[in-house]
Amino acid sequence: MSPRVRTVVLFAGLAGLAALYLCALHGLPGFGHYRGPYGDVINAAGVAERHVTDMVTAVNFDYRALDTLGEEFILFVSAAGVAVVLRRGREERERETAGGGEEDADEARGRRPPRTSDAVRMVSLLMVAPVVLLGIYIAAHGQLSPGGGFQGGVILATALLLVYLAGSYRRMRRIGPVTLVELAEALGAGGFVLVGLAGVLSGAAFLADVLPLGTTGTLLSGGTITLISALIGLEVGASVVLIATEFLEQALEIRGAERHR
């Protein structure tokens, strides 16, 4: 298909899309006039039923927890998928030099990557501890205020990437060895299913909230919501670290004898 034909097809398609979109908007309530009912039902019942104050967390880890389980496994499979796609090829080998020397690690010919400046190293180092604290705080307070395992997990993964920025790739691998990260990922994913099965074992439905609900507004309120949020934090943080590690490995570690045909 020539670029010209492609553009014509594109604009014909977009025109059709615009027409359908306008039709669809016609049937929607106006902006700012949400009619419910699902959101209103959850807002009205959530606090009393689940003893949590953040309704988005209640939806994610309780009312719609089964969907979140699927979502978590999408992340799990994607991390595994990236690892499979980026596995070391037959003609590739790992860089031999042990330790240090990563400034020269870029493979592109005729280009030397600039050294990481001392300012970047310093700021990254200073930020590691506050970022870890922020990640744990966000992951632990999802039941009370906006946040939860997904957000906290990503922030925690950032802390490990800051270690890479401040020090080196090898230091990052030492602090978060792949086996340990994979273990955390498996624990997060498996733990979610076990929490769900605990509901079944107690005679209720899968993922039923079986733990004591606690006092609304305290850190340990919400029963399984808080537990699942913590497990998700583990799983998300580990998955993001694994994916980042795979890409960093491609850039810094793996060397192809003859990459380009």
Partner 1 sequence: MSLAYAVAAWLLIAGIYGIVTSRHLVHLIVCLVVVQSSTYVLLLAIGYRTGAVPPVFVSVPPTTPAVDPVVQAMTLTDVVVEATATAMLLAFALQAHKRFGTLDPRELRSMRE
Contacts of 243 (CB under 8 A, 6+ apart): 78, 79, 82
* DSSP-assigned states of every residue in 195-254: HHHHHHHTTS-TT---S----TTSTTTTTHHHHHHHHHHHHHHHHHHHHHHHHHHHHHTE
Least distance in angstroms from the C-beta of 165 to partner 1? 19
How far apart, in whole angstroms, are the C-alpha atoms of residue 239 and residue 241? Answer: 5
Least distance in angstroms from the C-beta of 201 to partner 1? 27
| Interaction between residue 185 and partner 1 (CB under 8 A) | no
For the chain, give the number of residues: 261
Which residues partner with 254 through β-bridges? 94
| Interaction between residue 121 and partner 1 (CB under 8 A) | no
How far apart, in whole angstroms, are the C-alpha atoms of residue 42 and residue 63? Answer: 9
Pick out residues in 215-244 that bind partner 1 (CB under 8 A): 217, 236, 240, 243
Of 38 and 98, CB closest to partner 1: 38
Least distance in angstroms from the C-beta of 92 to partner 1? 9
- Beta-strand pair 254-256/92-94: antiparallel
Of 136 and 254, CB closest to partner 1: 254
How far apart, in whole angstroms, are the C-alpha atoms of residue 185 and residue 59? Answer: 23
Query: Considering only residues 81, 101, 190, 212, which one is a binding residue for partner 1 as defined by CB under 8 A?
Result: 81
Binding site for partner 1 (CB under 8 A): 3, 6-7, 10, 14, 17-18, 21-22, 25, 28, 30-34, 36, 38-40, 42-44, 46-48, 53-56, 58-60, 64, 67-68, 71, 74-75, 78-79, 81-82, 85-86, 89, 144-146, 150, 217, 236, 240, 243, 246-247, 250, 256, 259-261
